[in-house]
Structure formats: C-alpha cells, structure tokens
Amino acid sequence: MEPFLLEKLIKDFIYFEEFGDGKSLNTIKSFKKDLGQLRDYLSKKENINNPKDIKEMALRGFLVELQKENIGKRSLNRKISSLRTFFKYLKNQGYIEKNPTILLTGPAFKADLPEILTKEEIDRIREVIDIEKTNGIRDRLIVELLYSSGIRTSELLSLGESLFDLEKRQLRVTGGKQPRIVFFSERTREYFKRYVESKKKKYRAKYTADILFVNGSGTRLSDRSLRRIIERYAKKAEIQKEISPHTFRHTFGVYMLTHGMGLMHLQELMGHVSVESTKIYEEFVNKPKILKGYNNY
C-alpha cells in the first residue's frame, strides 16, 4: 500500500478541476477543504490511504463525524457533493472499480434566498470602474450586461460580437443549456460600442470579433478572471456582501418579478429548464419585507 496515494490523487483531482475543467476559485477552495478533511479522517480513524479500500461505510462514518461538530445542512450537502465529484473522477480514471458515494444522501433543507444587490450598490460598483481604459470599459460592459440581461457567467464568456443586435437591443445566447433571445439596456449598448472600438485600437492584429470579452493577451477571459474582477470592484465599492458574477443574475430575476414580469416569461428569459428554479425569486414578491432596505430597487 502506498502511504500517500490518496493524498496524491486528491492533488491530481484538484489540479484537473482547476486547470482542466476550469472550476471557479471558490469551488477549488471547497474541494481542498472537504477532501482534506476526508483524507485526515480516513488516515486517523480508518487507517485507509488507498482509495480502493474506501467503502460506503467509511464515508458514512466521515459524515457522522462531521455532524458531531454541528456542521450545517448546507455545508454537509456541499461536502457530499465534493465526495461524489472526487470519486466519480477516480472511477473515470480507473483508480477504483466501484463508486462508494452512489447511495450517499444528504439532509433535506429549504434553500436559502439568493444574495442580491440594491440599485445603490450597483451604482457604487459602476462608480469605481475606470472607464478611461479598455479593460475598464470591458468591465463596465460586463456589469451592465449581467445586470440587464440576466445571462449566466458561462454564457457571457462565450459571447461573440455577432450575437448582438444593437438596433433591437437583443442578444442571441447560444452558450448555455437553453439557446434563447434576451434583451439588454441602453447603457449596455453604449458600452458595447465603446468597448469594441477601444478593443480594436488596443489589440490591432490580435483583435477578433469572435470573442467579445478578452484578457490582457487578447484571448478569451476566463471564469476565474471574471470572478476576480467582480470581487475586486465589490471590495473597492465597499460592498459588504460576498458577491460573484452570478449575483447579478439573481438581481435581474428579482428585479423582473418585482416589476411585474410573469414567472413563465422570466423562466424563458433566464433559460431555466424547470420553472422551480425560477420560483425562488417569488419569495421576494410574496414577502416584501425581504426587500426592506432595497429602496428604489
């Protein structure tokens, strides 16, 4: 038995998820924490270092140990999700024959309401972006587009310029689960024009209309870089909430429902396969007190 085999495979898995599959920084941090706890438990409590020796009962013992520490239901479910992803990777790579997480289940719980931004917070983010530079214009366009269209991060990063109809203010989304037409604001149109013009001047021969959002090298902006951009502006704007690009999508959903849009229409715009995913925003409509402090929302 190789004493550090499990630890090595965890490192290989995390490397694969970060650089091969392009998972977000927060997801990678969760994997490191969750699988590190699993490694320590198996080594100290079960004397297991080889993944082939890990059975379902050992994993259930790990979950029981976590529950003794009064871990929350959401955190426990996240750890189970990390285990499933890790052992699926091990099986796909041929390190194990049977996935021991198949029958693992987590506790049921009511999903927390998503974090959303107020109009005042969005304005503060707008104000701290330096739009005198190409990257600043790019970042302002990102904020305006996420806020006014409600598209996913993956959809935003896959965009090309030809998908935009500036006259009708329509965008053809093709990079997600549900190809669809969404709409964007006048501000988005304004910054789209400014960004494309500035990008052409900056990148010259490297410029391509096939990729809308590019990094400093003129290649496609990554999910990780986008998250860092949003986190940086949130910190600069002194936003106390923990926000990500997806926060703008939630904000869009709540804004539309609280301003009279029908649930089914919103489902179509957001590209939700099931209306159940859209219904979470109804809480903000059914319980107006949740929006207390969201003046002029």
For residue 2, pLDDT over 50 is answered with: no
- Contact between 107 and 77 (Cβ < 8 Å): yes
- Compute the average pLDDT of residues 90-117: 83
**What residues contact 166, with CB distance under 8 A and at least 6 apart?**
189, 192, 193
Mean pLDDT in the chain? 90
Confidence of residue 297 (pLDDT cuts 50, 70, 90): very low
- Greatest CA separation found in the chain? 66
DSSP helix/strand/coil, 95: coil
Backbone angles phi, psi at 259, to 5 degrees: -110, 25
pTM for the structure as a whole = 0.65
Q: Please tell me the least confidently modeled range out of 56-70, 124-138, 141-155, 209-223.
A: 56-70
**What residues contact 114, with CB distance under 8 A and at least 6 apart?**
247, 250, 254, 280, 281
Domain boundaries along the sequence of the chain: 5-92, 120-242
Q: What is the CATH number of domain 120-242?
A: 1.10.443.10
pLDDT attached to residue 41: 94
pLDDT attached to residue 80: 92
Torsional class of 94: left (φ above 0), alpha (ψ -120 to 50), beta (otherwise): left
Confidence of residue 104 (pLDDT cuts 50, 70, 90): confident
Beta bridge partners of 164: 171
Question: What proportion of the chain, given as a percentage, has pLDDT over 70?
Answer: 92
Crossing angle of helices 186-203/134-149, nearest 10°?
150
pLDDT one-digit tens code per residue, 10-59: 999 999 998 887 777 888 999 999 999 999 999 999 999 899 999 999 99
pLDDT attached to residue 110: 55
Confidence of residue 181 (pLDDT cuts 50, 70, 90): very high
Q: What is the CATH number of domain 5-92?
A: 1.10.150.130
Instruction: Please tell me the distance from the alpha carbon of residue 74 to that of residue 107, in angstroms, as a whole number.
Output: 8
Instruction: Please tell me the distance from the alpha carbon of residue 286 to that of residue 288, in angstroms, as a whole number.
Output: 6
Q: How many helices (H) and strands (E) does the chain have?
A: 13, 3
DSSP helix/strand/coil, 180: strand
DSSP helix/strand/coil, 182: strand
